[in-house]
Structure 1
């Protein structure tokens, strides 16, 4: 059992992270009843926002976290949580839902036609938005789910959805590995989770790092010192941990080939 890292002042507390031109809004909070969570967010999906509606039918990639439990609690509306191929549609009455380490999962809105599907619910939910708490277990792993990871991952998704950039699998694997996350392989593949984690490390961290891919970008990161300390833990990333000079307002260079 890993030992939780010592608590430090959280520079993210109260920060609002907006993605998809305001379609998804994440507010960093103290967890309301468990202060030992390494992160806690109040996430709002504005389901009728054009950017959210445009991707509503596209599910995010299946993935897993070897080191941490992740927790989801719906406050308003509905949220779909797919675990090992089984979809659970959660509402406010369902309480907190726990995602165990190593389970293949993804989160998404169950509503693709909000005007049509909202009528199916009997609690006066109008289908306008879904609000939920997302939080995670603490761990002494430096490559883990935390706000440094989510801040950069949201910004990268913005580049894809808003700017129309192509998804780069190596960039995704590089960022996911640094967030203690790995893209799932089909379950029929022998030792699929072990193989997926190995691919994430070898392709994302080792090969990606050698090719110049980095998991965190100063222009996207509030706690750049923590991001540098995380990257310094890997010989493949430490060259990106540059604390020198003033921060510049520039767009990160992402490899798209």
Structure 2
């Protein structure tokens, strides 16, 4: 298991390019009541068919948010959502948005059979632990997404498997836990939360020295100048 990959300097970029430009991601100021508003465009979904499944880090792992509701708005193309084990295909012409309740196990991915660009907007409600003066203080935020996306992209380019403790630290910092796809909800939530704390926060953070954010991926001073 690697201690750290060589980190790419992306903090100054307004838009992240992933997988040689297959996907671009940018963030805009979210409206009141939301902690983040992310816009993803997968420019060539069919190109992902050539990426081995175990190397496709563009698909989030099965997970759940502790407190935040998440909303997806498919602007163009087609995506596949998995909510509590059930797959649903959603196109831009379907009713929007797709709502994911807090604590619901889920993931989503672009439909790699779609021949054309696919764009989706992703947002989350403000975490109840965040103050009204800083809606991104807790929970999912552009800081969290920029760190985990760039880390996974670095792993992809350097052909290094992502470190589980590092991923768990990223997720834990955003009030997110990996989800087990089986078993009763209450037990699986307790186990996955505990794994994030023990393997991620304690072992990854205190023993291995992993962090929830890196200056190569996110610059607090720079973002403050942007008003974010």
TM-score band by shorter chain is 0.7 to 0.9
Residue number in structure 2 paired with 1:192: 188
Residue number in structure 1 paired with 2:40: 43
Point out 4+ residue stretches in structure 1 off by more than 4 angstroms: 56-59, 224-227
> Structure 2 length as normaliser, TM-score?
0.78
Residues in 2 aligned to 1:226 and 1:30: alpha-carbon distance in whole angstroms: 12
For the residue of structure 2 that corresponds to 1:102, the secondary structure is coil
Q: 1:56 to 1:166 in 2, by over 3 A?
A: closer
Q: Deviation of residue 195 (structure 1)?
A: 1.5
Q: 1:226 to 1:184 in 2, by over 3 A?
A: farther
Residues in 2 aligned to 1:143 and 1:36: alpha-carbon distance in whole angstroms: 13
Q: 1:83 to 1:224 in 2, by over 3 A?
A: farther
For the residue of structure 2 that corresponds to 1:35, the secondary structure is coil
Q: Which runs of 5+ in 2 are unaligned?
A: 1-10, 131-136
Q: Larger % of strand: which?
A: 2
Q: Deviation of residue 60 (structure 1)?
A: 3.6
- Report the count of equivalent residues: 199
Residue number in structure 1 paired with 2:62: 62
CA offsets 1:184-210 (integer angstroms, 9 cap, x no match):
124226711012112101211112111
- State the Cα RMSD in Å: 2.5
> Structure 1 length as normaliser, TM-score?
0.70
Q: Which runs of 5+ in 1 are unaligned?
A: 1-11, 119-126, 228-257
Q: Confirm whether residue 201 of structure 1 aligns to residue 197 of structure 2.
A: yes
- Give the alignment of 1:64-83 within 5 angstroms: 64-83=64-83
CA offsets 1:91-122 (integer angstroms, 9 cap, x no match):
112210111111111110222xx3xxx4xxxx
